Amino acid sequence: MTVYATNRGLKYPRYELENGVKVERFNCYAPGEAYYLSLEMLMRLRKVRFDVVHAHGYHAFPLHFSVLAECNRFVATPHFHGVGHSSFRNSLIRLARPFGRRTLEKADRIVAVSEYEKSLICQQFGFDSSRVTVVPNGVDFSEFLQLYYTCHYNMIWEKTLKGEQSTSLSKTGFLTMICLQFQFTTDQCFLTKKGR
């Protein structure tokens, strides 16, 4: 197995072997920690052959460059959210949509990390839902057990509002947003209130 990754500022070694996995990192241009444009990676991908290429991150160049690698199967996990963090980035996303669509069309399988992401991909690119498989990110909840007892959503709500003059988001709206983001039901959120 080989992992190709960007290496902004050359902070990490170019080549590394980690638990039997070969890692090769490429210098990149990433203004505002975005896009991760690496011409080195582009050139390398044009020269390699793999059985399977599994690329991540619709909102950065490496996913789109990955279609250039010769392979038997191409899997894309876009982590697509459809919007940028500024008006400028939103414009870029709209302009790049045809290019992004072509990348995703080349995928043998598209993997979304939530039903919400799947619906965004199907809606914005016109894909049939059968093209997209949902595989949620794995979470080991045992690592967070102490947080369940010390950090209820009311505490998060209060910290979110701290220092803010006003907000249009109600407490109920905030809870709904948290539940949608993490795919919990309201009942599951309230489980955090129970003690040991």
Specify the domain boundaries for CATH 3.40.50.2000 within the chain. 2-134
pLDDT of residue 64: 94
Cα 68 to Cα 20, 42, 88, 91, 110, distances in angstroms = 25, 8, 28, 25, 17
pLDDT of residue 54: 95
32: DSSP letter? G
Condensed to tens digits (0 to 9), the pLDDT of residues 37-91 reads 999 999 999 999 999 999 999 999 999 999 999 999 999 999 998 887 788 888 8
Higher pLDDT, 182 or 109: 109
Residue 29 has pLDDT above 90, yes or no: yes
Other Cβ atoms less than 10 A from the Cβ of 55: the count is 22
DSSP-assigned states of every residue in 38-87: -HHHHHHHTT-EEEEEEEE-TTBHHHHHGGGSEEEEEEEE----S--SSH
Is the pTM higher than 0.75? no
Condensed to tens digits (0 to 9), the pLDDT of residues 92-129 reads 888 888 999 999 999 999 999 999 999 999 999 999 99
pLDDT of residue 145: 64
- Give the fold, CATH level 3, of 2-134: Rossmann fold (3.40.50)
pLDDT of residue 146: 61
